[in-house]
């Protein structure tokens, strides 16, 4: 049961379905809040590893 003893202040007992959300939500209390999937999902882009094309025999250092 989600309802604490005595009910929620200015709300009462929760008798229907509910969702527990961590954090804060904008809007006024007791107003309907629409939860939806994000418009832009996080896409993990695969970064290609750099390829070694050529190695100099001196290691690139000029003396």
Residue 60 is predicted with a pLDDT of 55
pLDDT digit string, tens, across residues 6-36: 877 877 788 888 888 888 888 887 788 888 8
Sketch the domain layout of the chain as residue ranges: 1-25
With pLDDT > 90 as the criterion, what percentage of the chain qualifies?
0
Structure-model confidence comparison of residues 10 and 59, the more confident one: 10
Which residues are CB-neighbours of 25 under 8 A, at least 6 positions away?
33
Q: Which tokens belong to 56? A: 């100099």
**Model pTM score:** 0.37
Residue 62 is predicted with a pLDDT of 57
- Residue in the block written with tokens 């939860």: 35
């Amino acid at each position: 049961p989600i309802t604490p003893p005595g009910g929620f202040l200015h709300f009462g007992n929760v008798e229907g379905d509910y969702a527990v959300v961590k954090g804060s939500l904008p809007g006024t209390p007791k107003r309907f809040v629409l939860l939806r999937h994000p418009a832009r999902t996080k896409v993990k882009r695969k970064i290609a590893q750099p390829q070694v094309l050529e190695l100099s025999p001196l290691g690139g250092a000029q003396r």
